[in-house]
C-alpha cells in the first residue's frame, strides 16, 4: 500500500484480497509493519503483552492513548484502529461516544474497536451515526473472561446461533468490520458468507476476509503462553535473551566495552582535504 486506507476502504474490500493486520504498541513496531498491513490495531492486549497484567481488564484510557500516540508516529501507509478498554464504553452509548471521541482526537486513529455483539449494537449504531467508524469483536471477547469462564472457543454446537446473531447485529448496526476470535472454522465461514462486512479472523478460518495476530505472539517475544491459533513466524524472545546473557558475561569479564567502544583523550585528527 502507498497510502493508508480508511474504514470505508476496508469495508469495500469485503470478499476481495484478504485484509492483513497485526497489533502494535510502539513506534518501531508500527514502522516495521507500515505498508505491509492494511490496518494496525492498538490492542488492549498491550496490558498483557507489555505491562505484565494477567488479563486486559486493568487497561486504562491513558494507557491506550499513550500507546496509540506512539503507534501513530510510525504509520503513514496503514490505517490505525484502537481498542476501547474495559469499562470505557459498556455503560451507555453517550459514555462510549465520549471515550471513543477522546481516543480518536488524542491519537489520530481512524476507527475504534469494541467487544460485544447483540448487546452492543445500539452503542455501535450511536457511534457510527455520529462519525465514529466501529470495528466490532465477537466470539471470544477477552474483556468478558470472567463471565465466559475462561478463554474458551465460542460458538460450538448449540452456541453457534448466538454468535451468528452477534455477527448479524453488529453488521446491521453499521460496524465496518468485525473480528471473529476463537470460533469454529465452519461457523467463521458461514458468518463470512452471510454478512456484508469484512470478517477479521484470529483463531477462526483462512476463509475470513482478513486475519489479525498479536505481533509479540507471532514474533516470539511473548512466551508466557501460546494459544493454538498463534503461528510463531520468528522466535525473537529467546534470541534476545541470548544477547542479554552474552552482554552480562562480557561486562563481568571486562571484555565489554572494547577499544572500539571507548574514547581517546584527544579528538581524532581530521584528514586534510586534498
Ligand atoms: O487486543 C488485541 O490484541 C485484539 C486482537 C487480538 C484482535 O483485540
Ligand atoms: Na483487544
- Calculate the average pLDDT of the chain: 97
Confidence of residue 272 (pLDDT cuts 50, 70, 90): confident
Query: pLDDT value at position 1?
Result: 74
Q: What is the pLDDT of residues 141-161, one digit of tens each?
A: 999 999 999 999 999 999 999
Helix, strand or coil, per DSSP, at residue 266: coil
Supply angle C-alpha 99, 4, 31, rounded to 5: 85
Options 62, 161, 181, 250, the catalytic residue: 181
Domain spans in the chain, listed from the N-terminal domain onward: 7-218
Q: By C-alpha distance, which of 212, 119, 136 is closest to 174? A: 136
Confidence of residue 224 (pLDDT cuts 50, 70, 90): confident
CB 95 within 8 A of CB 88: yes
Query: pLDDT value at position 270?
Result: 83
Atom index in ligand 1 nearest the CA of residue 214 equals 3
Distance, CA 26 to ligand 2 centroid (Å)? 16
CB 174 within 8 A of CB 126: no
CB 208 within 8 A of CB 192: yes
Distance, CA 238 to ligand 2 centroid (Å)? 25
Alpha-carbon separation of residue 124 from 116, 133, 155, 160, 161 (angstroms)? 10, 9, 22, 22, 21
Q: By C-alpha distance, which of 97, 163, 143 is closest to 124? A: 97
Confidence of residue 92 (pLDDT cuts 50, 70, 90): very high
Query: pLDDT value at position 44?
Result: 98
**38: Cβ below 6 Å to ligand 1?**
no
Query: pLDDT value at position 78?
Result: 98
Query: pLDDT value at position 36?
Result: 97
Q: What is the mean pLDDT of residues 13-24?
A: 98
Q: What is the mean pLDDT of residues 104-118?
A: 98
pLDDT higher than threshold 90 for residue 108: yes
Query: pLDDT value at position 268?
Result: 85
pLDDT higher than threshold 80 for residue 43: yes
Query: pLDDT value at position 180?
Result: 98
- Beta bridge mates, 82: 42, 112
In whole angstroms, give the CA distance from residue 244 to residue 44.
28
Query: pLDDT value at position 230?
Result: 97
Q: By C-alpha distance, which of 67, 83, 80 is closest to 37? A: 80
Block residue for cell numbers 497510502: 3
Query: pLDDT value at position 229?
Result: 97
Query: pLDDT value at position 186?
Result: 98
> 7-218 adopts what CATH topology?
TIM Barrel (3.20.20)
135, 202, 222, 227: residue to mutate for ligand 1 pocket, most atoms within 8 A of CB? 202
19, 135, 212, 226: residue to mutate for ligand 1 pocket, most atoms within 8 A of CB? 212
Write out the three cell numbers for 95: 459514555
Query: pLDDT value at position 274?
Result: 75
Strands (E), 46-198: 79-83, 111-115, 134-139, 177-181
Q: What is the pLDDT of residues 244-268, one digit of tens each?
A: 999 999 999 999 999 999 999 999 8
Q: What is the mean pLDDT of residues 219-224?
A: 92
High-pLDDT (> 90) share of the chain, %: 95
High-pLDDT (> 70) share of the chain, %: 100
Q: What is the mean pLDDT of residues 180-207?
A: 98
Q: Is the ipTM of this complex over 0.95?
A: yes
Residue 8 has a CB neighbour count (10 Å cut-off) of: 11
> H-helix or E-strand containing 189?
helix 185-194
Query: pLDDT value at position 214?
Result: 98
Q: What is the pTM of this model?
A: 0.96
Amino acid at each position: 500500500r502507498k497510502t493508508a486506507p480508511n474504514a470505508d476502504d476496508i469495508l469495500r474490500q469485503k470478499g476481495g484480497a484478504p485484509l492483513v493486520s497485526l497489533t502494535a504498541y510502539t513506534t518501531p513496531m508500527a514502522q516495521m509493519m507500515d505498508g505491509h498491513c492494511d490496518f494496525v490495531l492498538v490492542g488492549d492486549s498491550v496490558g498483557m503483552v507489555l505491562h505484565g497484567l494477567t488479563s486486559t481488564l486493568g487497561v486504562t484510557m491513558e494507557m491506550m492513548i499513550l500507546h496509540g500516540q506512539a503507534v501513530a508516529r510510525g504509520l503513514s501507509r496503514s490505517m490505525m484502529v484502537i481498542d476501547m478498554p474495559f469499562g470505557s464504553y459498556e455503560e451507555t452509548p453517550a459514555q462510549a461516544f465520549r471515550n471513543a471521541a477522546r481516543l480518536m482526537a488524542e491519537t489520530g486513529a481512524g476507527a475504534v474497536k469494541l467487544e460485544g455483539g447483540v448487546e452492543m449494537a445500539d452503542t455501535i449504531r450511536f457511534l457510527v451515526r455520529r462519525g465514529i467508524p466501529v470495528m466490532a469483536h465477537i466470539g471470544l471477547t477477552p474483556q468478558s473472561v470472567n463471565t465466559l469462564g475462561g478463554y474458551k472457543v465460542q460458538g460450538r454446537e448449540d452456541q453457534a446461533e448466538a454468535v451468528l446473531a452477534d455477527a448479524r447485529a453488529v453488521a446491521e448496526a453499521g460496524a465496518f468490520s468485525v473480528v471473529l476470535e476463537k470460533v469454529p472454522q465452519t461457523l467463521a465461514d458461514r458468518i463470512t458468507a452471510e454478512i456484508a462486512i469484512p470478517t477479521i479472523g484470529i483463531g477462526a478460518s483462512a476463509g475470513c476476509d482478513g486475519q489479525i495476530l498479536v505481533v509479540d505472539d507471532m514474533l516470539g517475544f511473548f512466551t508466557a503462553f501460546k494459544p493454538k491459533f498463534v503461528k510463531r513466524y520468528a522466535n525473537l524472545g529467546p534470541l534476545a535473551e541470548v544477547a542479554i546473557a552474552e552482554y552480562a558475561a562480557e561486562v563481568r569479564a571486562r571484555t565489554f566495552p572494547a577499544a572500539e567502544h571507548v574514547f581517546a583523550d584527544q579528538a581524532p585528527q581530521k584528514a586534510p582535504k586534498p
